Structure 1
Amino acid sequence: MGGIGSGGNGRLTDAEKLAKGTFRSDRTDEIYAAKAAEKVITGPWLTTIPEPTIPLNEVGRKKYDEITALLFAGNKLTKVTCGDCERMAVMHQQMHERLTAGKSVSMDLIKRMDAISVRLRIAEDAPAIANPNQKNRFDGSGFSNSRASPFRLRAGKSGAGEL
C-alpha cells in the first residue's frame, strides 16, 4: 500500500503491456479513464450570484458582493459557499462596527473569519497584487553557486594501515 508507483502515474500503456506479456483486459487504459471520469465532480454551482438571505448593512453587503464575485469568477459559488459568504459578511460588519466605536476586535472573531476564508479557498485564485515585471530586490542574495572550500586535504600515503 502506498509507495513508489502506487498512484498509477508510471503506468504502462496497453501496447507496452502487450509487448511484455502482462496485458489484462480488466485493466485497460479505457477502464482507468472511465474510473477517473466517475470521480469528476459536476456539483451544483450557481449560475448567478444570489441575494443574501440575511439583512446586511452597506459594509456587510459590499463584503458579500466582493467574496461572491471572486468565487463566481472561479466557478466555486454554491449554496454552501453562499452561506459562508453571508457569515463572513456579518463578521466583517461586526468588525467594522467595533472598530468605528473605538473598541478592539476579538481574536476569536478574526480566527473565525480566517477559518471561513480557508474553507472558501479564496486566496488560491485571487489576483496577484505585486507587479510580476518588477525585479525582486532579494534575487541576488543567498549562497553563491560555487562554494569551494579554501582548505585542501593532503593526499594520504599509499600504504594502508601505516602510521
Structure 2
Amino acid sequence: MTEVPSYLSPTGQEIVLLLLGVVAVGAALLVVTTKQLVHAALWLVVCFGALAGSYLVLTAEFVAWVQVLIYVGAIVVLLLFGIMLTRAPIGRAADLDSGNRPAAAVVAIATAVVLVTVVVDGFRAAYIPLRPGAGSAKEIGSSVFRNWVLPFEVLSVLLLAALIGAIVLSRTDIRGRE
C-alpha cells in the first residue's frame, strides 16, 4: 500500500495544477462578467488553455491536445462566427444588464460553497498516484469507439443543426412562403 502524502508539503505537480486551476477559474469569471462578447470568447480561450495545461500535468496528453484542437480551435471559432453571423452587438450593450447582479452573486456564492463542501468532504482522504500513459490515444480511442459512439454522433448532428440555424437566421435574402 502506498503512503498518502501530506497536504502540508505539496509536490511540484500539485502546485502547477493549483495555479492552472486558479487561472481557469479567473478566466471563467471574466467570461461571465465581461460586457463585450468578443472579449468573453477570448477569455474562454484562456480558460480552455488552462484546462489543457491541467490535462498535461495529469499525464493525459491526448486529452490535452483534443482540448486545444476541438474546444479552442473549433468551438470558440464557432462562437465567434455565430456572433458575427447573427449580427449580435459586439461592443458594450447597456440593455443586457437586468439588474439582478446581487441575487445572482448570492446564488453563485451559495452554489460554490455547496460544491466545494461536497468535493472536499467526498475526496478528503482520496489519493490516486498518477501513472503515465493513462490518457493515451489507444485507451481513449477504444473507450470512445466502444462506449461513446452514439452520444458523439448525436452531438455532431446537434452542432450541425445549430450552425445551419445560425446561417438561416442571419440570411436576409431567405423569405418564407407567402
Q: TM tier, shorter chain?
A: under 0.3
Higher relative helix content: 2
Say which structure, 1 or 2, has more relative contact order (CA 8 Å, 6+ apart).
Answer: 2
- The TM-score, its normalising length taken from structure 1, stands at 0.27
